[in-house]
Amino acid sequence: AQSVAQPEDQVNVAEGNPLTVKCTYSVSGNPYLFWYVQYPNRGLQFLLKYITGDNLVKGSYGFEAEFNKSQTSFHLKKPSALVSDSALYFCAVRARAGKSTFGDGTTLTVKP
Amino acid sequence: DTEVTQTPKHLVMGMTNKKSLKCEQHMGHRAMYWYKQKAKKPPELMFVYSYEKLSINESVPSRFSPECPNSSLLNLHLHALQPEDSALYLCASSPQWAPMNTEAFFGQGTRLTVV
């Protein structure tokens, strides 16, 4: 079985500060890991993915994520948060049978 | 064109109505998906079509009936729905169902309310 955990329902940061949204996973075999963002009443937008290779993955809108195999984590980061980054963030893993398993989501609020 | 287009954006229907949700993509993707999403919850996979054939049905009630007329279109036919079926219905596509390293492209969803 595969699973994803996002331990924080809510993350609050001040604009200009670094942000981290946490994700841990459990799979058998090599994981394919994804981050998506969802703005209110919209669909999910792909941010970045880890397939293989460099553990630091760079994605859209200045986001990056670090794959840590020993800690089974794939945390999303951004050096300087913007108010417009406020949204719902989902981590997803895709391993067995090609199905994606999503985490429960983390609501990021960036305050001016 | 890198979009997945869903229509309508909003739909209110009675429990005895029949309606359809439509999804269209012109990216040449051969895998298309229907998801159901409740507020502030992750999307729940309903159906997967691969090369216009139904590959996965996640034990969805028969009041939801998917259809893939061609490689660009995906429909979800609705009949005799219940109020608990009210949700955001998301369509997505990806180049193929496998390999597993491809991300999905999501439409903006149809907000369905069953009254």
Mean predicted confidence (pLDDT) in A45-69: 94
- 8 A C-beta contact, residue B108 and residue A38: no
Whether B104 sits inside 8 A of A100 (CB atoms) is yes
Mean predicted confidence (pLDDT) in A84-91: 97
pLDDT in tens, B60-86: 999 999 999 999 999 999 999 999 999
| Burial per residue of A35-59, b for 16 or more beta-carbon CB atoms within 10 angstroms, e otherwise | bbbbeeebbbbbbbbbbeeeeebeb
The predicted structure's pLDDT at residue B66: 98
Chain A nearest-CA residue for B103: A46
- What's the rounded Cα separation, in Å, for the pair B26 and B18? 27
Neighbouring C-alpha atoms within 13 Å toward the C-beta of A104: 6
Asked whether the predicted pLDDT for residue A96 surpasses 90, the reply is: no
In this complex, the residue of B56, B90, B98 whose CB is nearest that of residue A43 is B90
Chain B contacts of A100, Cβ < 8 Å? 45, 104
- What's the rounded Cα separation, in Å, for the pair B100 and B66? 23
Whether A44 sits inside 8 A of B103 (CB atoms) is no
B49–chain A Cβ distance below 8 A for any pair: no
Q: Given the structure tokens 């963002």, which residue do they identify?
A: A37
| Closest residue by Cα to residue B80 from B27, B22, B13 | B13
Q: Given the structure tokens 């983390």, which residue do they identify?
A: A106
Asked whether the predicted pLDDT for residue A31 surpasses 90, the reply is: no
B35: pLDDT confidence band, cut at 50, 70 and 90? Answer: very high
B103–chain A Cβ distance below 8 A for any pair: yes
The predicted structure's pLDDT at residue A27: 87
Chain A contacts of B32, Cβ < 8 Å? none
